[in-house]
Structure 1
Amino acid sequence: MKIMNCPLNGPRNISEFIHGGELKPMPNPTTCSDREWADYVFYSDNTAGVITEWWMHVASSYWFLAERHTVTDEILRTFDPQEIFQERIEFAVEEKRS
């Protein structure tokens, strides 16, 4: 049984988690091209080595980050996103046209 340490809930069976993808810089959604946005949303670098990824503990809906070695599948550490992100990004909502 593989165990992952959730920063909020402690050690849990890996089956309690969902992989959310690689952490990568987000382009400005108001100025980037459709291609740049699609690259951000749908594509990953698929790097062999240590990467930082989004994970969610399903039972608590808690999103966090994990450093994982993609070749050995070893989870090196897990941590709260507040270690990296200091402020929330708000997206502008377009008004519906009648």
Structure 2
Amino acid sequence: MLRKPEILLLDEATSALDNVSEQRVMESVDRLSKDMTVIIIAHRLSTVLNADVIHVLKKGSISDTGTHEELLKKKGEYYNLYTKQKNIDNNALVEF
């Protein structure tokens, strides 16, 4: 990122991090990635919440496209995934 590439590809960059570390990494990416295109491949939806555009893949095809808010309103595949992940995160916090 220090070389300021035009395109930055992050493939599961935060998958092994705890939530606090993930948030710090994504804040750094947001801050340092001005004037560049960032493509994020992630199963953790919290990684892409602030993306300009989110494309949801299902069985190799794009099933949904939009911002976080737009995709939640559609109540499609993204909504289902987000709801499941949010419930898992909430349960983990309660059990901790």
Q: How would you bin the TM-score normalised by the shorter chain?
A: under 0.3
Q: Which has the higher contact order (CA 8 A, sep 6+)?
A: 1
Structure with more of its chain in strand, by fraction: 1
When you count helix as a share of all residues, which structure comes out higher?
2
